Structure 1
């Protein structure tokens, strides 16, 4: 190979190539798709297209790297009769070290390709294959290909209109400081000049406030592409600037910091191509966004503070009176002019209760001379204070809010609209009661929190005064621990990091149908899932299953079954070995590598479902109810919802779902409380070509049931019904097929003792349910709770008359007197009578056998179930 110095000042050559050309990105990581995306944007800015390099020059660029100045790219001059390789150097790493050692004289052994322009496809293919370059090749450094400093972390720009004392500005700055602790590289970008006292800017802040308003967004786009930004996170930008940023091709997420009255200019005009994801600071704001911008995905990320910066302190002495604090900058929506009348009413209320103390008001906020409405607000407050004769102090930002709260007895807020007030959080953290209007996200702070007292926005001063005096004379419990639970900067940043990763992966459209379930061991729900997954797979759809409660090294029979049919199963360490959030993050990482077309929860742990559905704003999520246990499990989880997760009632979960599926019609009405669209899809089973029941009565009459040994299966009631019926039955036996559920060993022992003197045969769990049915005359089932039980469907498909208790969807399977007997729930004697009835009427059993199979054929086939779910999960595939 010929060696050469840098071509930073090349000699003129007779031939040049035009800007750009074909390019190829090396080493894309499916678990970090933002690396390839950032390189693609850089190449496109330089004029390249990502097409196969078959003829002419081309560029190799390793995923995650970007050209330092893509818009100034100019191809190197061609060499007469010789191939040329031009190298772009990174600021650090193997190539930079290599260049420092060798200068312009590159030896034959080159580091792995990073950024290389090839005049010949032959040299490019040689580098891709790891082969030596032809000896005639000239390898040079071409400075316009030099790379910016990047790493593999997701890079998120926090973009705020100005850096001044205010809630949204603090949030943007805090995120820029906190996100690196969550594996995200950040940079704070300030677009304009402050109107109030500026906040301290973190190192590396990009200040564009010297630019004209009309040009700053465009210049920021060029900078972001050149520096390899993966996500742009905007705060307070108006619709026009947001659109300019989105046209960069970099995903844009926007935090909305206020109720609708306080949204940035023209925010209601945004569409799906203008912003990837909206992050609401409260659930109240999320509701407004969903109503105004229904085509945009939305998630709530509660505002957070650092509670240690606002420590809980004892209430100050009342020897010199009471101090009420309000933390707000003078603006019309804060309605500070109402405070003097409220303070005066508080003084009168105290006197009416025999307390003759002064009441002082401290307003911690800054009046901006450049904002006319702020000056008007300030004058109104001062006039009202003079009118009511109250002691009013303005801090104008000279006293830290922490100190203001430490000297106050309560915080009062009259704001007409709010997002989620940092001032309220700071007061709660300081151990001070908050008396505020029920606006915006304030109700979310009051959840199970007596330290926050809500009043209607139109409440008169006297009503405010009563609540304030109640809090002053009977101090409320501190909410400091509640702030640590839900409203910290760390929790806020963790959620933003997770959503930013999802936004960075948005360009990759998925085709895989992902099922998430607890396990694939015994049980009807597991059997239905396996049937459905194999049926989808047989129709040519890609299916994967993620398990929450299996050990990777110990596959169940159900998992082995799916693997043998070519269906991949992802098995993270089981719940209990790792925490719910860690488990969900592992599943999300796997879904990043294999993007879902839809995600389906099928009998999955409620806590994991909440976390996973929340973390997938761009993916349709469906939840399949197995019946009563879904609701009872959900209610238990909602008693203590996950910290920091805005999901406290069923409808909060429901709006994360594309659909909620129930398996029998009667459950649909109850399911409406979830708030998601409800679909009714009963289970389906394979219909054997021929009946499997005994065709002729031989020997003992056999009652059979297939149920795992568990208290919820109520086998004790079945045994008791058998005991009652036995004196009137012919020679018979009750066969029970089912394995013992983990933790139900005592139940199994108790059942065996209960059946000790009865003709009961215990069979283990069977994989050949058809063979079991072939040895039975009548199938019996008492189960509570029950959704759409598979055991009875399989028995009906085999041609067995079924006696079932009227629970869940049993009434849609067993038509009393037609294909079996349906008896009232928990009525053991009625169940016994039904057993006697069918035992003595073989003709009736034969007629019911025919009706049973016909009922399955018409309503409960696997093909019908598969098509119903296919229309729901993959509507474009129909």
Structure 2
């Protein structure tokens, strides 16, 4: 009797006790970067009646199963009878490999020296512990091959089942078939599963198809679930299945994702009732569909994966001659939502419109589609079109699937579509790829094809035949430039499959509940205020016992910067892939995602990171809260440049596309919050924080010149040329003074540094270079001076105020929230060198005033800008559910 049957026959109060008696299984050698392998084996072991345990301390009979392996017939497993008085081990064999070779040499009765464990049943914990520790089993052990433990053929790749309701002529069916065929090119194994029989002509498969159309409809989900576990499927990807069947498949425990191929009017039956526990991830074929999913099912993660075609199958071809006639094409199967019955009136109106422009030529229409006799609404749709064609006396031809779409498009001058709702039409992609203009209703994802695309004309869904006729006449008489390159940029099968492979891997890798690690993603930990703030925050979280990791985008793994070494010295792990510029952004992102799979995030925080990497990462993390921390003006200018040419295939073209991927967007000062609202994510204001020294660190009163100090890396953004100009202008009215500047030369700024050195060579200016001890530098200064543009919430001025230095700053960014004019320093208009010079002279003349400002400076930091306050603010943001 199987364990599952035994439990089902026990009385209710005995079930709990019986579960504890289930034999145990240990999944061996789990790969932290490929967690789906261990999950695959866990499902197999549990289907065979085992309880999976962690650790290596076992008791009683147990199964050892290497991660990634699955039992060929888990539902029929029975423990082998153990001989009395002997250590007993039963072994399952793989289809090939070291154990198969070992078996061919020894037969089914093995010696005590064995290959490494793959699949073994141990009657006692003593032999299991020996195998786990690499010891040889006792010489009198009985070790046999047990067929019930034999393994299915699997590999290390993610295994994704593409499940579609039927393999008939249709867009969704083509997508499922193409994904099954293309996923192996993107690192995933794949299987195409067809659940039912077609209503229209059968779509030819490209490879092996698992046909379940012979299985009764109510049984096929259970049948497929058992088969998928036995064959080691890691993800089930469904297309067109209704809510009930989708839920039934989800009960397998295999992560399930679904592609939604239509606008809400065309969703599978009951889809609006889906809940977060029913499905892991929804993939929308267009951003328009994703928006509807987010509105109707806000608790289920959703991402857009644009439909794609193979450009070589629809190459650009010259427009046919217009000497004899104009030919329009419509590619659609007759269904009510396609509104094909409007086409005859449009064709008649076009004939009149052309005549009004002095063009007297026949106009004909070819409809490439099939009428399913088993669908009454399809038959009626076809009949309605024929009635309208007779009424308006237009030339209309049906292909009924007997002419390839590629040929239809090659012979057409334009594609016309008046669908009431769409997902993202493959026919539209195919026409544009072929170099044909598209005139279509602005429904579903069609607008997404019009981005920078003059070949697409969008009309209102209720546009009149006359309006259609005017747009068609314009396209026929003055054809727009071909848009094939735009389609090949974003809407290819390769782009689509790569995204599906990545999301499938995320679904199989990330746990259902958020992880525990707070991940920071930043460019580097070299010099700079943003980097200093990040290090302070990371160390503060770490000191509070929160797991923290950082990923760096622009450092070399073998050359740690002092900032990176600082985090490592404090016990914070840092992952450093090859830097951006050495590898492709997507490759770097994928490496980071692999590390995150090994340490699942509680949240991911972008802190001064490259925009392209942020877009790719935020998109690829549907199960994770993602926060973006703005460093000020540089964030916005970099973002705007990237959005002009976003990564190919990424549905992120306007700021709000990115904002939808974020949990929050944080700015460093209040005035920036209004601008940030354009991102579309919830906006938070969290200023930087610094460590407040126990006592002031400004220069003690000694003889000698008055010291103005500035700490800034040498970069044009810091406008040190203006600071030198202000110092030169103020110098005649200053007491004996010196300007000390601490900061290294930023990469690429050597020429600017040379200009600065030349500007200051006749002035009392000291260039101190990079400093590792800012407190020591402050102790040399009387007044801190800062001209910087752009600036968010500059750390240099905060650190100076914390040290008790009066600060003269230009009114840029968040400086006005730090420097209160006349209280703890002087705030002068931006880019006003003369006003800055006057402020330097003003503070030089009154030592008592500088002393009062010193006290006010430290108090202002204590009240508003401590690292403790910053940490608390971010703690509430990143962990809103924490008590």
State the TM-score bracket (shorter-chain normalisation).
Answer: over 0.9
> Aligned match of 1:412 in 398, 407, 416?
416
**Length-normalised TM-score, structure 2:** 0.96
Deviation at 1:767, TM superposition (A): 1.1
Name the structure 1 match of 2:4: none
CA–CA separation in structure 2 for the residues paired with 1:524 and 1:32: 37
Matches within 5 A, 1:661-680: 661-680=666-685
Deviation at 1:383, TM superposition (A): 0.4
CA–CA separation in structure 2 for the residues paired with 1:529 and 1:51: 39
Within the alignment, does 1:176 sit opposite 2:180 as a pair? yes
Within the alignment, does 1:246 sit opposite 2:246 as a pair? no
- 1:598-620: CA deviation from partner (whole Å, max 9, x where unpaired): 11111111011111111111111
Deviation at 1:77, TM superposition (A): 1.4
Matches within 5 A, 1:467-506: 467-506=471-510
Name the structure 1 match of 2:462: 458
> Aligned match of 2:317 in 313, 329, 352?
313
Within the alignment, does 1:633 sit opposite 2:638 as a pair? yes
Deviation at 1:25, TM superposition (A): 1.0
CA–CA separation in structure 2 for the residues paired with 1:538 and 1:56: 42
Within the alignment, does 1:233 sit opposite 2:237 as a pair? yes
Deviation at 1:593, TM superposition (A): 1.5
Name the structure 1 match of 2:367: 363
Name the structure 1 match of 2:16: none
- 1:504-551: CA deviation from partner (whole Å, max 9, x where unpaired): 012275211111111111110011111111111111111111111111
CA–CA separation in structure 1 for the residues paired with 2:595 and 2:416: 48
Deviation at 1:18, TM superposition (A): 12
Deviation at 1:65, TM superposition (A): 0.9
> Aligned match of 1:651 in 634, 656, 664?
656
Query: Which range moves more in the overlay, 505-514 or 190-199?
Result: 505-514
- 1:783-820: CA deviation from partner (whole Å, max 9, x where unpaired): 00000000000010011111111110000000111111
> Aligned match of 1:809 in 799, 810, 814?
814
Deviation at 1:727, TM superposition (A): 1.6
> Aligned match of 1:325 in 312, 326, 329?
329
Name the structure 2 match of 1:871: 876
Within the alignment, does 1:196 sit opposite 2:217 as a pair? no
RMSD value, Cα: 1.3
Q: What residue ranges of structure 1 are gaps of 5+ in the alignment?
A: 1-16
Deviation at 1:877, TM superposition (A): 4.3
CA–CA separation in structure 2 for the residues paired with 1:137 and 1:551: 53
C-alpha contact 2:112 2:143 (8 A) present in aligned 1 = no
> Aligned match of 2:380 in 376, 384, 404?
376
Name the structure 1 match of 2:429: 425
Within the alignment, does 1:334 sit opposite 2:338 as a pair? yes
Matches within 5 A, 1:262-341: 262-341=266-345
> Aligned match of 1:43 in 30, 42, 45?
45
Deviation at 1:695, TM superposition (A): 3.3
CA–CA separation in structure 2 for the residues paired with 1:629 and 1:730: 37
> Aligned match of 2:67 in 60, 63, 66?
63
> Aligned match of 2:91 in 77, 80, 87?
87
CA–CA separation in structure 1 for the residues paired with 2:682 and 2:478: 46
C-alpha contact 1:20 1:46 (8 A) present in aligned 2 = no
C-alpha contact 1:20 1:75 (8 A) present in aligned 2 = no
Query: Which range moves more in the overlay, 51-60 or 78-87?
Result: 51-60
SS of alignment partner, residue 273 of structure 1: coil
Name the structure 2 match of 1:32: 34
- 1:628-652: CA deviation from partner (whole Å, max 9, x where unpaired): 0000000000111100000001100
- Which of structure 1's runs of 4+ aligned residues deviate more than 4 A? 17-20
Matches within 5 A, 1:678-717: 678-696=683-701, 698-717=703-722
> Aligned match of 2:118 in 92, 111, 114?
114
> Aligned match of 1:620 in 619, 625, 637?
625
CA–CA separation in structure 2 for the residues paired with 1:202 and 1:310: 18
Deviation at 1:202, TM superposition (A): 3.5
CA–CA separation in structure 1 for the residues paired with 2:117 and 2:586: 38
Q: What residue ranges of structure 2 are gaps of 5+ in the alignment?
A: 1-18
> Aligned match of 1:856 in 858, 861, 875?
861
Query: Which range moves more in the overlay, 202-211 or 635-644?
Result: 202-211
C-alpha contact 1:19 1:74 (8 A) present in aligned 2 = no
C-alpha contact 1:19 1:75 (8 A) present in aligned 2 = no
CA–CA separation in structure 2 for the residues paired with 1:728 and 1:164: 87
Within the alignment, does 1:206 sit opposite 2:205 as a pair? no
Count of residue pairs the alignment pairs up: 862
Name the structure 2 match of 1:763: 768
- 1:293-327: CA deviation from partner (whole Å, max 9, x where unpaired): 00011111000000100011010111220000000
SS of alignment partner, residue 100 of structure 2: helix
Deviation at 1:418, TM superposition (A): 0.5
Within the alignment, does 1:823 sit opposite 2:832 as a pair? no
CA–CA separation in structure 2 for the residues paired with 1:348 and 1:544: 68
Query: Which range moves more in the overlay, 203-212 or 733-742?
Result: 203-212
C-alpha contact 1:301 1:496 (8 A) present in aligned 2 = yes
For residues 141 and 20 of structure 1, do their structure 2 counterparts lie closer, same or farther at Cα, with a shift above 3 Å needed? farther
CA–CA separation in structure 2 for the residues paired with 1:18 and 1:226: 24
CA–CA separation in structure 2 for the residues paired with 1:251 and 1:317: 53
Within the alignment, does 1:526 sit opposite 2:528 as a pair? no
Query: Which range moves more in the overlay, 464-473 or 554-563?
Result: 554-563
C-alpha contact 1:18 1:75 (8 A) present in aligned 2 = no
CA–CA separation in structure 2 for the residues paired with 1:38 and 1:179: 19
CA–CA separation in structure 1 for the residues paired with 2:822 and 2:233: 69
Deviation at 1:721, TM superposition (A): 1.2
CA–CA separation in structure 1 for the residues paired with 2:580 and 2:265: 44
C-alpha contact 1:19 1:73 (8 A) present in aligned 2 = no
Matches within 5 A, 1:130-145: 130-145=134-149
C-alpha contact 1:414 1:437 (8 A) present in aligned 2 = yes
> Aligned match of 2:348 in 344, 351, 354?
344
CA–CA separation in structure 2 for the residues paired with 1:456 and 1:621: 36
For residues 19 and 556 of structure 1, do their structure 2 counterparts lie closer, same or farther at Cα, with a shift above 3 Å needed? closer
CA–CA separation in structure 2 for the residues paired with 1:104 and 1:47: 25
- 1:638-685: CA deviation from partner (whole Å, max 9, x where unpaired): 111100000001100011111111000111111111011111110000
CA–CA separation in structure 2 for the residues paired with 1:183 and 1:586: 14
**Length-normalised TM-score, structure 1:** 0.97
CA–CA separation in structure 2 for the residues paired with 1:18 and 1:727: 88
CA–CA separation in structure 1 for the residues paired with 2:22 and 2:727: 83
